[in-house]
Amino acid sequence: MIIKKYSVLLIAVSIVLIQCKEEPANITKLVIPPPVVLDLDPTKIAEGKETFRHNTFGDEALWTDVLRLDKAILGEVNGGFGPGLSPATALSIGLKVDAEALPQSVVQGISDGSIDLNDPLTTVALLNLDAVVGVKGSFDGNGNLASVGVTCALCHSNVDDSFTNGIGSRKDGWANTDLNVGAILGFVDNQALADILSVDVATFNSVVNNWGPGRFAPVLLMDGKVTKPNGELATLVIPPAYGLQGLTHETYTGWGEISYWNRFIGVLDMGGQGNFTDPRLNDPEKFPLAVERGLYNINIPGEDLIDPKLESLLEYQLSLLAPVPAPESYDEPAAIRGQQLFEGKANCASCHAGPAFADNVLHTPEEIGIDDFEANRSPTGMYRTPPLRGVFVKANGNGYFHDGRFSTLNEVVNHYDSHLNLQLSDDEMLDIVEYLKAL
């Protein structure tokens, strides 16, 4: 009798226990907080889009007058120098072609092979159609290539490959993960760049040609730091330019807000014609080459071609939402468990907080358990919490964290587990990864 009584009690207790344990599983739908929706002006968005895609801000002064990219594209046989840049080569170093800019005859010619993709003059023809993403050619009255410049879209747009690899509809804001910026810098007349670093052209080429795709080093010609202390080449993974709604700190190390950085990269890296002042660059310890080159205070003699564009450019960037992952690309029950860990036991949400999954706070290298090399190349000495919405895209990119040091999300979560001593089980780590894939 007693035994029977106890077993009834036991069953009752276990039902209660099971119910408690099952409670979280009652959540059957993953709910991701929505992105910040801003009230934007459609006219300005349209103007900013035009700027983002097509405006060189007069950077032909660098890319044509100094680096002679136009002549490098033409090649020696067409009055330039070197082998020339055929569309085949251009595609192989990650340049993209906007299929929507191609007339039907050109689409046909590429399909049936009657258009020669190994002829640099075909590249010139594509430039004339404004079809090379992020590269803008200007033509004289006789249809000859007169100058070439680059736009924001060079690094921050991709295409959907709908026609073929590298040719498709534009995807603005998506990092061009294939773009080999170093190969482009190795291809132009780069004597002037080598001079800034006080190295010969061969040395310069040996560096930039080894950067690899989807990478760039925006402060190389300001601090001269070619390699990291561990000997690897010092590059940054080109970030996306979408999903910036609600963020106050731009760049991996929090140099400033969006328009500050747009002006920075537009003037100092693209070579656009605009003014730029930041006394933080007047630091001979951190930025000896910037001090030498007077980059902390640039006042161009002519018209500022960047400043009037910044407001609408910002509006366009803020209109670009991070992509949403397909529901079948992650395991929903695991992601639900991962969300609870992210917000609870693993404490990720203490930094990856709010609608952008970023706290708008800078963190010390020690806090996140990485070295201080890149942090110290910026005035802040810190790393900013990156937004995580759309981070699933990086599975096909060049790694996570500023320098791509982790190649998978599992590696990222493993790193946090050991650095923060989170004591997560293997299954819990996998659940967090599924949640990250769902953002």
Stretch that binds ligand HEC, among 1-9, 23-31, 147-155, 225-233 (CB under 6 A): 147-155
On the 0-12 / 13-18 / 19+ scale of CB atoms within 10 A, 323 is middle
User: Shortest Cβ distance from residue 3 to ligand HEC (Å)?
Assistant: 48
Provide φ and ψ at 31, rounded to 5°: -115, 110
Tell me how far apart the alpha carbons of residues 280 and 291 are, in angstroms, rounded to a whole number. 10
Smaller CB separation from ligand HEC, 265 or 335: 265
156 touches ligand HEC (CB under 6 A): yes
391 touches ligand HEC (CB under 6 A): yes
Look up residue 370 and give its two tokens. Answer: 């990485």
CB atoms within 10 A of CB 434: 21
Look up residue 44 and give its two tokens. Answer: 């300005």
Stretch that binds ligand HEC, among 25-33, 67-75, 115-123, 238-246 (CB under 6 A): 238-246
User: Shortest Cβ distance from residue 28 to ligand HEC (Å)?
Assistant: 23
Stretch that binds ligand HEC, among 14-22, 73-81, 109-117, 150-158 (CB under 6 A): 150-158
Look up residue 139 and give its two tokens. Answer: 């033509």
The closest of 55, 115, 53 to 87, measured between CA atoms, is 115
Look up residue 116 and give its two tokens. Answer: 């020669």
261 touches ligand HEC (CB under 6 A): yes
User: Shortest Cβ distance from residue 57 to ligand HEC (Å)?
Assistant: 7
Tell me how far apart the alpha carbons of residues 76 and 93 are, in angstroms, rounded to a whole number. 20
The size of the interface with ligand HEC (CB under 6 A), counted in residues, is 49
Distance from first CA to last CA of the chain, Å, rounded? 56
Smaller CB separation from ligand HEC, 133 or 346: 346
Tell me how far apart the alpha carbons of residues 382 and 355 are, in angstroms, rounded to a whole number. 22
Tell me how far apart the alpha carbons of residues 238 and 249 are, in angstroms, rounded to a whole number. 16
| Contacts of residue 87, Cβ cutoff 8 Å, sequence gap at least 6 | 97, 117, 118, 122, 123, 126
**Is the CB of residue 66 less than 8 Å from the CB of residue 185?**
no
367 touches ligand HEC (CB under 6 A): yes
Smaller CB separation from ligand HEC, 110 or 265: 265
Tell me how far apart the alpha carbons of residues 115 and 94 are, in angstroms, rounded to a whole number. 20
Smaller CB separation from ligand HEC, 70 or 172: 172
**Is the CB of residue 235 less than 8 Å from the CB of residue 20?**
no
User: Shortest Cβ distance from residue 252 to ligand HEC (Å)?
Assistant: 4
User: Shortest Cβ distance from residue 352 to ligand HEC (Å)?
Assistant: 5
135 touches ligand HEC (CB under 6 A): no
CB atoms within 10 A of CB 298: 16
386 touches ligand HEC (CB under 6 A): yes
99 touches ligand HEC (CB under 6 A): no
User: Shortest Cβ distance from residue 160 to ligand HEC (Å)?
Assistant: 20
User: Shortest Cβ distance from residue 100 to ligand HEC (Å)?
Assistant: 21
Length of the chain, please?
A: 439
Smaller CB separation from ligand HEC, 63 or 163: 63
275 touches ligand HEC (CB under 6 A): no
Binding site for ligand HEC (CB under 6 A): 150, 152, 154-156, 181, 216, 218, 236, 238-239, 241, 250-253, 258, 261-262, 265-266, 270, 313, 317, 346-348, 350-352, 363, 367-368, 370, 383, 385-386, 388, 391, 394, 400-402, 409, 412-413, 416, 432, 436
